[in-house]
């Protein structure tokens, strides 16, 4: 039979055991709310990741892949109170790097409990962009097939000049031109410099190309198209996008497209214009 003394000792032991096994709640947390307009769901396993900057160090607030206009994340209160900046990055598929990628999409500085975030502060200022192009096929010897090529140049003056007025992009981004044929986006090449060749010419001929981004749609068409038959640029949608670099989805344009327009019916020397889309995401972050 258990004596009163034994029962008391057992009760104390159980009490001590209860204290030692109690869960540690950790530091207090507060809500960080993202109110963002214009995001789209990312493809091929890429994700967004939020970051707050505390004493110069980027601290993750969590990954997501959503186009929702409002998202809330729990963040350690002391970190949130001391944060000076918010950054939204695009992280590649299977990302295991504890630091932000170079592909930063939005950023803003906290003023009180609010940070207004935009593309202009971290990618490039797209407030005054414009574009011109001609339809021509300089990389072959056929004289009357200029409708099968597009070059982002402006030959209307005394000298030919770049047709694109675009800001220099931050690290982690490149521009890419696109023409939409039969609902299939086809690249004209990625580039960083509007005054120079783009990075590839997979569909062009063997002749010399202009010193500007562009493409002749003559050979090796992507699946679903036949070049040059389907490569007629006239009446097609023409787009300049920004693309993550390295690019995790090379088949479709990234959703931020600074310039877009419809090609006319007249080939070079006729000039075609593409206009600012103003479709870059923006918003605010609340703590």
Question: Over pLDDT 70: what percentage of the chain?
Answer: 92
Residues 238 and 260 in one domain: yes
**Stretch 124-148: mean pLDDT, rounded?**
96
pLDDT > 70? residue 23: no
pLDDT tens for residues 236-284? Answer: 999 999 999 999 999 999 999 999 999 999 999 999 999 999 999 999 9
Residues 77 and 158 in one domain: no
pLDDT > 60? residue 21: no
Residues 134 and 208 in one domain: yes
Q: Residue 16 domain-assigned?
A: no
Residues 195 and 241 in one domain: yes
For 210, counting Cβ atoms within 10 Å of its Cβ (0-12 exposed, 13-18 middle, 19+ buried), the class is: middle
Residues 136 and 238 in one domain: yes
Structure tokens at 261: 């327009």
pTM of the predicted protein model = 0.89
Last residue of a domain, one of 73, 104, 123: 123
Residues 37 and 222: their CA atoms lie apart, in Å, by: 33
pLDDT tens for residues 84-115? Answer: 999 999 999 999 999 999 999 999 999 999 99
Name every residue whose Cβ is closer than 8 Å to that of residue 226 and which is 6 or more positions away in sequence: none
Last residue of a domain, one of 123, 148, 177: 123
Measured in degrees and rounded to the nearest 5, phi and psi for residue 36 equal -120, 140
State the pLDDT at residue 112. 97
**How does strand 173-181 pair with strand 237-244?**
antiparallel
Give 22's pLDDT tier (boundaries 50, 70, 90): very low
pLDDT tens for residues 168-185? Answer: 999 999 999 999 999 999
Residues 211 and 145: their CA atoms lie apart, in Å, by: 20
State the pLDDT at residue 24. 55
pLDDT > 50? residue 146: yes
Range of the domain at 58: 29-123
Residues 61 and 160 in one domain: no
Residues 97 and 93: their CA atoms lie apart, in Å, by: 11
Measured in degrees and rounded to the nearest 5, phi and psi for residue 230 equal -90, 0
Q: Please, what sign has the CA dihedral across residues 267, 268, 271, 276?
A: positive
Residues 187 and 89: their CA atoms lie apart, in Å, by: 24
Last residue of a domain, one of 85, 101, 123: 123
pLDDT > 50? residue 19: no
How far is C-alpha 166 from the chain's CA centre? 16
């Amino acid at each position: 039979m258990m004596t009163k003394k034994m029962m008391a000792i057992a009760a104390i032991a159980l009490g001590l055991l209860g204290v030692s096994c109690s869960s540690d709640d950790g530091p207090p947390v507060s809500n960080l709310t993202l109110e963002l307009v214009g995001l789209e769901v990312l493809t091929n396993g890429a994700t967004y990741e939020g970051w707050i900057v505390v004493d110069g160090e980027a601290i993750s607030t969590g990954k997501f892949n959503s186009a929702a206009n409002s998202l809330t994340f729990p963040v350690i209160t002391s970190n949130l109170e001391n944060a000076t900046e918010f950054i939204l990055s695009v992280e590649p598929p299977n990302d295991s790097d504890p630091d932000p990628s170079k592909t930063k999409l939005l950023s803003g500085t906290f003023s009180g409990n609010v940070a207004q975030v935009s593309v202009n502060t971290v990618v490039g200022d797209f407030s005054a962009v414009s574009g011109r192009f001609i339809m021509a096929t300089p990389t072959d010897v056929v004289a009357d097939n200029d409708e099968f090529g597009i070059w982002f140049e402006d030959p209307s003056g005394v000298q030919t000049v770049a047709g694109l007025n675009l800001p220099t992009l931050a690290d982690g981004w490149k521009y890419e031109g696109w023409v939409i044929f039969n609902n299939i986006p086809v690249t004209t090449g990625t580039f960083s410099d509007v005054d120079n060749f783009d990075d590839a010419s997979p569909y062009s001929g063997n002749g010399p190309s202009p010193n500007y981004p562009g493409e002749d749609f003559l050979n090796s068409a992507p699946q679903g198209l036949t070049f040059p038959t389907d490569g007629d640029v006239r009446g097609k949608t023409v787009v300049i996008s920004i693309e993550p670099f390295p690019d995790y989805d090379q088949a479709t344009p990234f959703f931020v497209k600074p310039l877009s327009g419809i090609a006319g019916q007249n080939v070079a020397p006729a000039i075609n214009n593409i206009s600012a889309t103003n479709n870059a995401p923006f918003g605010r972050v609340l703590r």
